[in-house]
Structure 1
Amino acid sequence: MNKQITIKDIAKEAGVSISTVSRVINSSLPVKKETKEKVLKAIEKLNYYPDSLARSLRVGYTKTIGIIIPNIANPFFATIVRGAEDFLRSKGFSLIICNSDNNISEEKKLFKTLIEKKVDGILYSGIGDHVESLINRNVKTVFIDRIIKNNEFSYVCSNNYNGMHKLLEYLYNSNHRKFIFISGKREIFSAAERLRAFQDFANEYKIDYKIFEGEYTHESGISVAKKIKSLPDVVVCANDLLAYGVIEHFKTNGLKVPKDVSVTGYDDIAFSKMFSPPLTTVKQPMYEMGKTAGEMIFTILSKKIDHIPVKQFENEIIIRESTRGRN
């Protein structure tokens, strides 16, 4: 059995004291450049990995942040994760990524796991709220892409309502009058806001419309599209993945987008501009949302504050070839 390397072995190899090795590993006190290089070379030579759990028990933090998302296969969440990870890595933090598969029971298990691992904070972009549990455990948390009416937490989101309303105005002004709206699950904050915008718009402009509910997936778009019996002027989808599924179903059945029907999405994930036809959608600053969430949790931890005011981004309409003016 191979012997476990300790800082005593590193100290011996580098010809320095154990306390000097400790200062280099923990960056606790300054060490001369030449001495630090000796220690780092010894660490590399002996293939030493510090015991992060033992260190966290000594210093009271782990320099790890957990992030809970509902679906890592959705590029929207993958981009948020990348933004958060890039920022936190620059500050010496590691990110533990947890995928709940849109399951609230699984989210509860993931919260428990992250707390057991002594993470310093949690970034949460799931489908539940778990507020009571978070308050009881005093876990520093930043909510992403949702707002819970509780002032004890920090939030990063985009203005889903305004983004959807601006998209609908564009469609109405280009003579779309008969609408189908495909919502995400209504318990999801972004889906509820986009649906609320559509309902308010429909009441204001007295349009002809139907509403279907799906999930934020390509497969759900196909499934819901099969239920459409009478073709509208436009199918407004609550996210891009839904729109991909709708367009695929229409193509399979010999319909042309946008000649026969316009289709729109929401998010502007990377593939939307390369889709056929390129998708008219609403652009969310996904990377910036993730980065801002990382900045928030870092500030909360480093300054030892409870929370930061809500950061809300505005969204932008992206007009492409999946829509056209109607006669």
Structure 2
Amino acid sequence: MARTIKDVAARAGVSFTTVSHVLNGTRRVSEESRRRVERAVAELGYVPSALARSLKTSETHVLGVLVPNITNPFFAELMRGVEDAARGQGYSVFLCNCDDDPARQLGYVQRLLARRVDGLLLANSAAEASTVSGALKQTPVPTVVVDRAVAGLDADLVRVDNTGGARLATEHLLGLGHRRIACLAGPLAFEVSRARVAGWREALAAAGITPAPGWLVEGPYSPAQGHAATLGLLADHPEITAICAGNDLLGIGALRAAAERGVAVPQQLSVIGFDGIELGGFVHPGLSSVGEDIRAIGERAAAVLIERIRRSASRQPSPLRELVVTPALILRESTGPVPA
């Protein structure tokens, strides 16, 4: 049987307003009354209703977070940072996995808005701008976008310098003497993928290199795609001496393909990824990458969202912000000098 605040008040022999003050810390009560209320709560197993509190305060202390693919370690590490920062500020997190499906993402956004979440954190750009921005215009809520910008949506943005990171990765390979460098790109429908391809092209152009058409392979951000694409490159473009992968999962798949074909890494083929996921340091050989503290990005995004929520509640308008994280080289065993 569910207990109410009135049951607690009756057991403690105090008014229900006194119980409310004790539970919420809204007013000082006598030490004796506080002990009686706490004893009654324990004896009855009373749990305050978060829904009732939210109806009074117009706050749920819940953040809705949408990610494209929770099986990608990048988003798992990102979520850990979000959850850590949110919990430290008294917020819970409602996680939605969208599988890069526009209809699924829109459905989740509508459900989260219906449940009166205090804010949204979007790490997904699958849905068309009109669908997400349209839903949020009908029911405005503080929103922060992570990494993948959503065009047409007024929101704070926390992103990685994707073009600069891919340029850095390619320049590392060029510095090792490589000139025939392939690119395993993610889906080019994503702004993130296009930006990383642009960084690869910029670095090659600065070195006076024009990549052959077959050096660029597009596909999902997955180990299976990296494996299949690298098998194709090894068969069709044996001149390739290095691979710049659009993310670490593609790079891990490339390492597997090289091992299956007896191609030594890095003696015959160098591979570098992007993101710097923790898993990359535990494959063999360890995957070189350009990356950042992914958990710290999640923490920063959550902090920006909570600040936006509090400013909105106190009616303190502030301009939208774009925070850019600069990735750095993470050198492991998968890159080395060009074969003689």
Separation in 2, partners of 1:325, 1:37: 71
Q: Given the superposition, is the C-alpha separation of residues 101 and 31 from structure 1 closer, same or farther in structure 2, using an over 3 Å criterion? A: farther
Matched letter for residue 140 of structure 2: N
In the alignment, what sits opposite 2:194? 192
CA contact (8 A) 1:62 1:120 kept: yes
Aligned partner of residue 95 in structure 1, secondary structure:
strand
* Maintained 8 Å contact 2:267/2:337: no
Match of 2:93 among 95, 118, 135: 95
Residue 289 of structure 2 is aligned to residue 284 of structure 1? no
Deviation, 1:35, is 4.2
User: Given that residues 145 and 189 in structure 1 are in contact (C-alpha distance below 8 angstroms), is that contact kept between their aligned partners in structure 2?
Assistant: no
**Secondary structure at the counterpart of residue 266 of structure 1:** strand
**Alpha-carbon deviations, 1:211-248, whole Å to 9, x = none?**
00121111221222232222311011010011111111
Candidates 199, 218, 221, aligned match of 1:216: 221
C-alpha distance 76-40 of structure 1, shift in aligned 2 (>3 A): farther
Q: 2:329 aligns with which of 298, 305, 317?
A: 317
- CA RMSD, Structure 1 to Structure 2 (Å): 1.9
With structure 2 as the length reference, what TM-score do the two structures score? Answer: 0.89
Out of 202-211 and 34-43, give the one that drifted further: 34-43
Q: Which amino acid aligns with 2:310?
A: S
- Scaled by the length of structure 1, the TM-score of the pair is 0.93
Question: What is residue 253 of structure 1 aligned with on the other side?
Answer: 261
Which amino acid in the other structure matches residue 334 of structure 2? S
**1:66 Cα deviation after fit:** 0.3
Structure 1 equivalent of residue 245 of structure 2: 237
Query: Which deviates more from structure 2 when the two are superposed, residues 190-199 or residues 117-126?
Result: 190-199
Letter in 2 for 1:237: A
Q: State the AA in 1 paired with 2:175.
A: N
Do the aligned partners of residues 12 and 289 (structure 1) sit closer, same or farther apart at CA in structure 2, a change above 3 Å counting? same
User: Aligned equivalents of 1:33 and 1:162: distance in 2?
Assistant: 60
Letter in 1 for 2:218: E
- Number of the residue aligned with 1:123: 121
- Contact 1:153–1:307 (Cα < 8 Å) also in 2: no
Q: Counterpart in 2 of 1:50? A: 48
Sequence identity, in percent?
A: 29
Aligned equivalents of 1:37, 1:78: Cα separation in 2: 42
Q: 2:28 and 2:75 mapped to 1: Cα distance? A: 39
Contact 1:152 1:306 in 2 (8 A): no
Deviation at 1:101, TM superposition (A): 1.5
How many correspondences in the alignment?
325
Residues in 1 aligned to 2:29 and 2:166: alpha-carbon distance in whole angstroms: 55
Asked if 1 retains the 8 angstrom alpha-carbon contact of 2:125 and 2:148, the reply is no
Deviations 1:106-147 (A, max 9, x none): 101110110111101100001234223323321211000133
Shift of 1:307: 5.2
Confirm or deny: 8 A CA contact 2:125 2:149 kept in the other structure. no
Partner in structure 2 of residue 136 of structure 1: 138
* Kept after mapping to 2: 8 A contact 1:162/1:197: yes
Q: Partners in 1 of 2:30 and 2:301 — Cα distance? A: 36
